[in-house]
Amino acid sequence: MTKEEELALDGYYGEALSIAMKVVVKVAEVSGAERLVPVKHAHISGISYKNIGEEGLEFLESLASKGARFAVPTTVNPGAFDLERKAEMNADEGAVRGQLRILEALRRMGAKLTLSCTPYIYERISFRDHLAWSESNAVLYANSVVGAMTNRDGGPLALFEAISGRAPLSGLHLEENRVPSVLVDFSGVKKALLESGLVGAAGLVTGRIAGSRVSLVRGLSFRNEDEVKLYLAAVGATGGTGLVLIEGLSPDLKYLRFSEGELERLAVDWGMVAAELERYSGAGDGVAVIGCPHLSRGELAEILDWVRRQGGAKRRLILFTSRAAVEGLELGEPNVEVYADTCMVVSDLSKYAGRSVLTDSGKAAFYLASQGYAVRLVPRGELLRYVVGEGG
């Protein structure tokens, strides 16, 4: 430990920093890290009142009162409702009060209340920046697309890393742990995947194969970064991994040294993709939900524009995005709701959308199905055609 870190640990800079440093140092010790590494940015998940309760809320408030301040720029994940449209989401009053107090405590500690799961769109992060990020889709994007370095931290750990400004130098913070151990080869289904647009299903397949391992992915191509985030979010739902090395995309591949011959190889066939669709083949008559991960501003504008040009939505469509993406956009469109600050997974969707949904998100399908929703996973194109009244 550096002199500075020891002083912090011993309480020289106050109780709050001492607790934070203690947590980070202990996690470093048990994970075998030799030292801590300064991080440039932190992103905190697990801030929902529903999950952390009154006690979690009081804990955050007491940290703020003890003078805890984030040492680095820090953003937060979506919460339980749209701050400006609570009533439409039928959020219950006690939960709203609790959630707002949690956000206030985080704000006092210096967080930027982005309430977005796509910090990689809005924050300046670069190749080989060390980050302390929780939220699996963000971690996967930062590592796999940007080449930044972050472990797939839990929400509580990321909170303490944000306060201490440091993370254990272990896992994906070290080059040697970023080399792949398995090759996931989509070459055999590449054409069919491209034609079907089943990006989410491809992600679910990858996650199941990779588990917690770093994988090298071959044979996938994406039309844009928005598709990449949809893919990676699904990887993070079925897999515990924080890094996928995508050929033609991941900057790490220019620098990492490994021998492809030593990798375990797995060729994806159509049966594996179909198995995912089979898992999420619910009723198919529900509300269309898009925005897991949060839609970018470009995607949002494109979807709204397309729906208008097709003569409007005949079936209900709910879109989730970040606050920064909706500013100034014309959102008024019959049958289409746009929510910011929250999403279909962390809000109580059943209270405003029922229990039967269609989505293009592998991640949302995975989590909503586990919460007992009837979910159908379909490509975005098909989903939008369903909304404007074709097929379905």
Partner 1 sequence: MRLEGRPVVEGRARGELLVTREPLSFFGGIDPLTGVVVEHGHELRGHRVSGRILVLPHSRGSTVGSYTLLRLARRGLAPAGVVAQRGDEVLVVGCIIAGIPMMLAPSLQELYELGSGRLAELRVERGGAVLEVL
Using the minimum distance from each CB to partner 1, give the nearer residue, 60 or 89.
60
**DSSP helix/strand/coil, 256:** coil
Number of residues that bind partner 1 (CB under 8 A): 23
Q: How far is the CB of 55 from partner 1 (least distance, A)?
A: 4
Residue ranges in 108-137 that form contacts with partner 1 under rule CB under 8 A? 134
Output the six-digit token pair for 62.
């007491």
Using the minimum distance from each CB to partner 1, give the nearer residue, 30 or 261.
30
Using the minimum distance from each CB to partner 1, give the nearer residue, 29 or 264.
29
Residue 144: name the closest of 74, 235, 262 by CA: 235
Q: How far is the CB of 56 from partner 1 (least distance, A)?
A: 4
Output the six-digit token pair for 242.
């924080």
Q: Does 354 bind partner 1 (CB under 8 A)?
A: no
Alpha helices in the chain (DSSP H): 3-9, 15-30, 49-65, 93-108, 119-122, 136-141, 155-164, 190-196, 199-210, 225-238, 270-279, 297-309, 323-326, 350-353, 362-370, 380-387
Binds partner 1 by CB under 8 A, chosen from 70, 133, 141, 160: 160
Q: How far is the CB of 11 from partner 1 (least distance, A)?
A: 15
Q: Does 30 bind partner 1 (CB under 8 A)?
A: yes
Binds partner 1 by CB under 8 A, chosen from 15, 26, 87, 329: 26
Asked if 130 contacts 38 with a C-beta cutoff of 8 angstroms, the reply is yes
Residue ranges in 3-22 that form contacts with partner 1 under rule CB under 8 A? 19, 22
Q: Please tell me the distance from the alpha carbon of residue 140 to that of residue 147, in angstroms, as a whole number.
A: 10
Q: Does 59 bind partner 1 (CB under 8 A)?
A: yes
Asked if 199 contacts 379 with a C-beta cutoff of 8 angstroms, the reply is yes
Asked if 125 contacts 149 with a C-beta cutoff of 8 angstroms, the reply is no
Q: x/- string (CB under 8 A) for partner 1, residues 299-338?
A: ----------------------------------------
Binds partner 1 by CB under 8 A, chosen from 23, 169, 182, 253: 23
Strands 244-246 and 215-218, by their bridges, are parallel
Q: How far is the CB of 326 from partner 1 (least distance, A)?
A: 28
Q: Please tell me the distance from the alpha carbon of residue 22 to that of residue 11, in angstroms, as a whole number.
A: 10
Q: Does 51 bind partner 1 (CB under 8 A)?
A: yes
Using the minimum distance from each CB to partner 1, give the nearer residue, 55 or 93.
55
Binds partner 1 by CB under 8 A, chosen from 9, 39, 44, 52: 52
Q: Please tell me the distance from the alpha carbon of residue 67 to that of residue 79, in angstroms, as a whole number.
A: 24
Output the six-digit token pair for 58.
């009081």
Q: Does 56 bind partner 1 (CB under 8 A)?
A: yes
Q: How far is the CB of 366 from partner 1 (least distance, A)?
A: 14
Output the six-digit token pair for 173.
């913070």
Q: Which stretch binds partner 1 (CB under 8 A): 156-164, 177-185, 198-206, 325-333?
A: 156-164
Q: Please tell me the distance from the alpha carbon of residue 392 to that of residue 136, in angstroms, as a whole number.
A: 32
Binds partner 1 by CB under 8 A, chosen from 8, 9, 16, 27: 27
Q: Please tell me the distance from the alpha carbon of residue 166 to that of residue 221, in angstroms, as a whole number.
A: 35
Q: Does 262 bind partner 1 (CB under 8 A)?
A: no
Q: Does 197 bind partner 1 (CB under 8 A)?
A: no
Using the minimum distance from each CB to partner 1, give the nearer residue, 49 or 280.
49
Q: Starting at the edge strand that comes first in sequence, how are the strands of the sheet with 317-321 ordered?
A: 336-340, 317-321, 287-295, 356-359, 374-377
Q: Please tell me the distance from the alpha carbon of residue 284 to that of residue 291, in angstroms, as a whole number.
A: 18
Q: Please tell me the distance from the alpha carbon of residue 208 to that of residue 21, in angstroms, as a whole number.
A: 35
Using the minimum distance from each CB to partner 1, give the nearer residue, 180 or 239.
239
Using the minimum distance from each CB to partner 1, give the nearer residue, 32 or 328.
32
Using the minimum distance from each CB to partner 1, give the nearer residue, 19 or 365.
19
Chain positions contacting partner 1, by CB under 8 A: 19, 22-23, 26-27, 29-31, 46, 51-53, 55-56, 58-59, 134, 153-157, 160
